Amino acid sequence: MKELRTLEKLDLSGCCLLKEIPDGESLSQMRNLRQLLLSDCTNLRKLPVLGALEKLEVLNLSGCSAVTGIAGLSFNRITSLRQLNLSETNIEVLPASLSKLVNLHQLLLRDCINLEELPSLESLMNLQQLDLRGAISLRKTVAKFLEKMTKLRFLDLSNTRLILPRMLGTNLSLLSLSNCSSLNYVPLNQLEKLIHLETLDFRGIKVRDFPYWIANLIHLKSLYLPDLNEIPQLDWVRIKRLPDVLNWDECGMFANFDLHTSTRCPSLTISSTKIFHYLLDKDANIWDKCFEGFHISVCSSSNISREDRLFFCSGDESSSLQEIHFKSLSCPKEQGEGSVEIHGHDEEFPAGVEEVLKRAVYIFLTRNKFIKHLSDIGKDNMGNVQVESFKNLKQLHLDCCPKLENVFSRPQLPENLEFLRIKFCCRLKYVFQPDCADFALHKLRELHLIELPELVSIGIILYSIQSINIRNCPSLISSDCEIIFEQTVSQSHEVVSKVILP
């Protein structure tokens, strides 16, 4: 080792025969060493003196199960250390000099089952990740040092007895409190302020109510709930948003039918459609009980912007932005009517929402790149039921679907359609395919076609139309637009009250 003075990385991971690294001058002369990796050296007992390694940034001793103490390991001089991994060692006490590591970003002590006490950690204000999962011997105490760690993004206290302080850094993106024995109940006043959370785990902790406040956590993607069987009720009106990943079976959310209530029309934003497996495929009784009327927005978690998240995921229960959004889209005004919005999907249709679409009276397809034909919806999942997939549809809104070429084909003609609006679909050629020419929509009252440069034909006669709005559809105007309007106006049973042409 004496000849390796310029070495920057020494990786001895998995060297099961290694029992000690001598304290001699060989290691101390490696003054350019930045990474010392000794993970899974299961027979390593004696650690070297590292004080001379002033440039050291990474020290990994994870899995060194024979290590019982590092009292002789001083951190006074290696203040450049950024990552310290002592996971799965058998250390009992950490040296007080740990507080000198002011540049430390990661402190990993997972499954240090014999660790009884932590030194002062208040000075570690640059720490971004603290993992204490499984440190079951830590004494029950308030982790006040967390109040100082404002840059902390990942915090795992699972299976420990530590108590959360009154304040936590709001930059946390992962918080795991699973089976924290000192937490009798979920600390609601602390968690609902962590608006940057992406993963939240509080399995094994008692809850008095469903965490309706998760709607405020606009970045939340994964939620692991405790057993919900003891909460008094679950009101779907108050559930404004559910994340992509949720432990549906483990939390028992659908185990008790009597638990579910709904006082009025639920407005729900989701990214994952797995919920419909439980509400419709597994036990439709809950759907029938709580979703007689509904507003459901299926938003792609990968493409939705921050502005969209704020727009769709507001959790204010009295008059949320989400509810205002649905109202602005002319959503159900009648009791028992439902609406579905599919928003921001690029590659494929969100499988699992087919049965909800069949129940929807209002459908909004916004910023979806996967649609070439409306018949694509549910093609691989619905089989023969496509014929009746739009039988309840009264309003259809298509907005910014750049691959859409035609809307309706003969198998999916919406006989109850009253309102149709299509805009900013740059490849759309037909509203109704040519083989639909003999079909009549006797209930269609209002038609809006806006910014459709390739549209050449509406495709049917509009017998009952009352209002027509066509703007910037040059191919349609230059072909059969006038003929269609003459036939429509002459054969309409209603008075056409509004016609707007470019």
The domains found in the chain, sorted by start residue, are 1-104 (3.80.10.10)
Taking only Cα atoms into account, the Rg of the chain, rounded to an integer number of angstroms, comes to 31
Q: What is the rounded (10 degree) CA torsion for 363, 365, 370, 372?
A: 80
Res 127: pLDDT: 97
Tokens of 109: 């002590």
pLDDT in tens, 374-421: 766 655 443 333 445 688 899 999 999 999 998 887 767 788 999 999
* Residue 349 C-beta-side C-alpha neighbours within 13 Å: 18
Q: What is the pLDDT of residues 68-84, one digit of tens each?
A: 887 656 788 889 999 99
Judge whether residue 319 has pLDDT over 50: no
Q: Left (φ > 0), alpha (ψ -120 to 50) or beta: where does 459 sit? A: left
pLDDT band at 348; cut points 50, 70, 90: confident
Q: What's the mean pLDDT in 440-468? A: 88
The residue assigned the tokens 């076609």 is 449
CA 252 from centre of chain: 20
Tell me what pLDDT residue 327 has: 47
What one-letter code names the amino acid at 364? Answer: F
Tokens coding 388: 């009746």
Phi-psi region of 454 (alpha: psi -120 to 50; beta: other; left: phi over 0): alpha
pLDDT tens by residue, 418-439 = 999 999 999 999 898 877 777 7
Query: Model confidence over 112-164: pLDDT tens digits?
Result: 999 999 999 999 999 999 999 999 999 999 999 999 999 999 999 999 999 99
Widest CA span of the chain, in angstroms?
A: 102
Residue 430's H or E segment, with its range, is: strand 430-432
- Inter-residue contact 349 to 377 (CB < 8 Å): yes
Q: Give the rounded distance of the alpha carbon of 80 from its chain centre.
A: 36
Distance CA 398, CA 408 (A): 12
Task: Report the predicted TM-score, pTM, of the whole model to 2 decimal places.
Answer: 0.85
Number of neighbours of residue 418 by Cβ within 10 angstroms:
17
Q: Which residues contact 106 (CB under 8 A, 6 or more apart)?
A: 82, 83, 84, 85, 127, 128, 129
